[in-house]
Structure 1
């Protein structure tokens, strides 16, 4: 029964608390008992949690908690367990040739998984997170390989790099600048011929002349059919896959002043087992031979 001395809201029929602000009154609606008890329970639970587990920050460290639990110790134990589980496979990879790893389904799958992680750390900065490359950086998903796409060939490229001077076994290829050897007209003719191998050139009448210029100056490296030479790192010009730029002007620019990329040698940086894992992973992307 409402106290007759207390104000009752006319709309809701509920007593007000007696507080008033600019004519606005507060209804006196206490929280349900179950909610209040639940709130008290969470307070008790929080106090117990703070006592049992590390919680309160001190000057140099947090309180230890009566249970002595440590998330860092838990993570360290999980890492140690993972390393122990991997130890056998890591030893087998270290002592096996790339071809032997490829022939062992279990070891191959382990190498692919490990290689994917190593790729993100060491290779994605240039080749992209999906290994699709970019201008000046090869796409590792396709089947166009400058130095060969077999597992051992990929291993060799990763291990010793490309044009990495400190490594005596690095891949080396140098395209000479033709700006002083060919006239502008001859370079236009050559570009028209190269483009004609995959699409229509802007000046079709230059193709035949360009074919002869190509045979005299370019075929020794790129081959008479312009399909490249992997022993020399000369790219295939007849597959519409372009590393330095697409189009006649890009071809002329490359002939005039060639761009030579450099890939570091990774063997000394990350070790032989990781290089093998990377080689197996790259081969598995779909373009490996």
Structure 2
């Protein structure tokens, strides 16, 4: 290392006199703009610490001269939002479903607010778009176990299905094969008959005897709930077996599995988590998702 104190011929700046392996160090001060930026930043930081809540003090913190409290701000905003919602929430809670559906402005509120309520409470099972998933019903089609009108949907939400609620809807498909009510042959024949209800092409010369035998089993074992024609009974939650909507699968093997082992779904009751107005709003939103029975 040598100390020359010479001026650099390229930049014109003086050197510090330090040289390492042929590289000379320039005497370059920090740019004034950078210094000003650092000074302003430090001044701002000190002012912020003084004016705003900043430093923890064990169980508390410095409040700041401005006395700003984010929790209080949020609480004020929530109170204001509740006040703004009060009018239309009261209308949803008290007006008839038909009147609400006829009010375009109110239905716009139902769609926007209902989407958030649905996402928070229902999407985990039924999907964000309401189309369901394996063993959870699609809410956008025309197939409804207890009816698809807003009144019926609201009641199902209120009391649940196979839930602890004293008024809960009860739905259970007995395990005819597992519990020995039907032998293996009867299980397969009645499953073949049910499958043929929605798939007429399945009835051929090779399957007709099995289907006819299954029809006899159906009339004596299944018709009490599903009706003699298999179209179901919404009053007791017995599904239609003649359409293309199947909660647990409509192929022949899935029907055999359902007849043999039974089915019992579960829908939580929402009357303790949601208000009556929220339940009604969600019922309208779900009804509006797709084609629903009037």
Superposed pair shares fold, TM > 0.5: yes
**In the alignment, is the contact (CA less than 8 A) between 1:198 and 1:239 conserved in 2?**
no
CA distance in 2, matches of 1:203, 1:190: 16
Task: Tell me which residue corresponds to 2:127.
Answer: 128
**Matching of residues 1-289 of structure 1 within 5 Å:** 5-6=4-5, 17=16, 26-168=25-167, 170-179=168-177, 180-196=180-196, 197-198=198-199, 205-207=206-208, 209-214=210-215, 215-216=218-219, 217-289=221-293
How far 1:220 moved relative to its partner?
Answer: 4.1
**In the alignment, is the contact (CA less than 8 A) between 1:193 and 1:208 conserved in 2?**
no
Change (3 A) 1:249 1:52: same
Change (3 A) 1:238 1:17: farther
Q: Give TM-score scaled by structure 2 length.
A: 0.80
**In the alignment, is the contact (CA less than 8 A) between 1:193 and 1:207 conserved in 2?**
no
**In the alignment, is the contact (CA less than 8 A) between 1:20 and 1:26 conserved in 2?**
yes
Change (3 A) 1:285 1:160: same
Change (3 A) 1:275 1:11: same
How far 1:283 moved relative to its partner?
Answer: 0.9
Q: Any stretches of 5+ residues in structure 2 without a counterpart?
A: none
**In the alignment, is the contact (CA less than 8 A) between 1:193 and 1:201 conserved in 2?**
no
| 3-state SS in 2 of match to 1:162 | coil
Q: Give TM-score scaled by structure 1 length.
A: 0.82
How far 1:248 moved relative to its partner?
Answer: 2.1
Q: Any stretches of 5+ residues in structure 1 without a counterpart?
A: none
Deviates more, 1:155-164 or 1:80-89: 155-164
CA distance in 2, matches of 1:113, 1:252: 42
Instruction: Count matched residues.
Output: 285
Deviates more, 1:190-199 or 1:48-57: 190-199
CA distance in 2, matches of 1:225, 1:19: 101
Change (3 A) 1:81 1:269: closer
Task: Note the aligned Cα RMSD (angstroms).
Answer: 3.2
How far 1:193 moved relative to its partner?
Answer: 3.6
Deviates more, 1:109-118 or 1:201-210: 201-210
CA distance in 2, matches of 1:50, 1:236: 68
How far 1:252 moved relative to its partner?
Answer: 1.1
CA distance in 1, matches of 2:206, 2:235: 33
CA distance in 1, matches of 2:200, 2:11: 82
How far 1:146 moved relative to its partner?
Answer: 0.9
How far 1:178 moved relative to its partner?
Answer: 2.4
